[in-house]
Amino acid sequence: MSIHYRRVGAASLAAALLASAAPALAAGTLAGTNIVNTATVNYSVGGVAQTGTTASNTVTVDRKVVLAVANTGATTTVVPGQTNAVTTWTLTNSSNDTLDFALAATAQATGQTAQHGATTAFVPSLTNVKYYLDPNGTGVVGGSGVTQITYLDEIAPDATVKLLVVADIPSTATNAQVGGIMLTGTAEAGGVASTQGAVLTCQNASANTAGIDNVCGDAAGVVAGDAANDGKHSAKGDYTVSAPVLSVNKNMTIISDPIDGTTNPKAIPGAVIEYCIIVANAAGAATATNVSVNDPLPQSAVSPYPAYVAYTAGSNAIWLNATVTGSGASATCSGGTAVTADAGYTAQAGATPANISGSLSNVAANSAVGLRFQVKVQ
């Protein structure tokens, strides 16, 4: 009797043809695929060939669950109070099945190490957190193809999707402070478009069954409790505040008095005083824009509310964007652009004091600009 295997039986030929028609996936053979292997035994009796005998074995390929979440690019530069501040991410499905993925953002507490190495100093607000698909990698909410989502639907094996996550920045955050955000993806059953599947249960520690088992092979993530092989993965991103660091000084120079003129003048009634309001921005800070100054002139709080100093209407004695010399309490102002027709001056109205106002040019880092005006002591 002779025993041998045919090269390919009928059933194994069909399996081979099916395999050749399917695309090659790094993730491996698709979950649920039935691998059928048929062996045939041929033999003879007394030199007469007999009908061969076959035996088959079928293995159902289990589901390998592997995903990876990653933050992309540099830290996101933000300003205090900014809403919908974007961080950019990817999620890669290295599983051998089409899956859905739940998305969940969490904020890092202060004092932790952020994605790009800094220590977190503020907590981003996730009250209005949103998730977006960004297929073209625009990095911008409202960019080409960007759509808001609540979960990832029907992500094919070997596919990497680009995501945006937006959060709000507290108004109390200051220049150069860093806030951290973390994103977790959780594997869920796929197979029905536009319907979020149930969370997959990892069965690594269970005996193999005849059906499709879930074997999780993800790495440990950064969120507390996100262990290896748990069907989810998390990563960190961060925000860095770029804001002005402004200081304001109001300095005074006595120009003249009615007795000594400009020689050692004193602040007696009738004296002319020049105020200099100085707005300075620290080195390394962001440029301050739309800078405006309001200065109510001092007056008595008792009716009829006499003013202590008075601006002389028609004097063109308000200058914007004055040049600042020195710093702090010893700084002085000179030059500037005189306003016309007393623009910026509002006269006193009873208990409401007279007011001097003006808009200054942008104040870049490590620079200062002034608003100066003159009044007479009453």
**CATH number, domain with residue 346:** 2.60.40
Same domain, yes or no: 109 and 122: yes
* Domain C-terminal end among 187, 212, 241: 241
Identify whether 69 is part of a domain: yes
Structure tokens at 337: 């652009």
Q: CA–CA distance from 146 to each of 134, 161, 199, 251, 293 (Å)?
A: 5, 12, 26, 52, 41
Identify whether 76 is part of a domain: yes
- Residue 210 in contact with residue 203, Cβ under 8 Å? no
Average pLDDT over residues 169-194: 97
DSSP-assigned letter for residue 54: E
| C-alpha triplet 360, 257, 301: angle, nearest 5° | 65
Please give the residue range of the domain that contains residue 235.
65-241
Domain count across the chain? 3
CATH number at residue 207: 2.60.40.10
pLDDT at 357 over 90: yes
Q: Is 329 helix (H, G, I), strand (E, B) or coil?
A: helix
Same domain, yes or no: 74 and 204: yes
Please, which pLDDT band fits residue 13 given cuts at 50, 70 and 90?
Answer: very low
pLDDT at 294 over 60: yes
Same domain, yes or no: 255 and 236: no
- The pLDDT value given to residue 313: 83
Pairwise CA distance, residues 116 & 155, whole Å:
29
Average pLDDT over residues 249-258: 96
Residues β-bridged to residue 322: 370
Q: Using only C-alpha atoms, what is the Rg of the chain?
A: 37
Same domain, yes or no: 203 and 180: yes
Identify whether 368 is part of a domain: yes
Identify whether 4 is part of a domain: no
Same domain, yes or no: 48 and 70: no
Identify whether 224 is part of a domain: yes
Average pLDDT over residues 56-68: 95
Same domain, yes or no: 51 and 93: no
Angular region, 77: left φ>0, alpha ψ -120 to 50, beta rest = beta
Please, which pLDDT band fits residue 4 given cuts at 50, 70 and 90?
Answer: very low
pLDDT at 5 over 60: no
Same domain, yes or no: 172 and 101: yes
Rounded to the nearest 10°, the torsion over CA 95, 101, 106, 111 is: 10
Same domain, yes or no: 93 and 173: yes
Structure tokens at 273: 């005083």
| C-alpha triplet 191, 92, 77: angle, nearest 5° | 130
Identify whether 23 is part of a domain: yes
Same domain, yes or no: 126 and 54: no
Same domain, yes or no: 271 and 210: no
Same domain, yes or no: 370 and 251: yes
Q: Which of these, 254, 253, 319, 250, lies nearest to 280 by C-alpha position?
A: 250
Identify whether 1 is part of a domain: no
Which position has the higher pLDDT, 75 or 7? 75
Average pLDDT over residues 150-174: 98
Q: Which secondary-structure segment (H or E) carries 21?
A: helix 10-21
pLDDT at 20 over 80: no
* Domain C-terminal end among 183, 213, 241: 241
pLDDT, averaged across the chain: 92
pLDDT in tens, 29-61: 999 999 999 999 999 999 999 999 999 999 999
Identify whether 5 is part of a domain: no
Give this prediction's pTM: 0.81
* Domain C-terminal end among 186, 210, 241: 241
Same domain, yes or no: 69 and 38: no
Chain centre distance of CA 252 = 44
Q: CA–CA distance from 54 to each of 5, 16, 33, 168 (Å)?
A: 10, 18, 22, 67
Q: Which of these, 108, 125, 69, lies nearest to 92 by C-alpha position?
A: 69
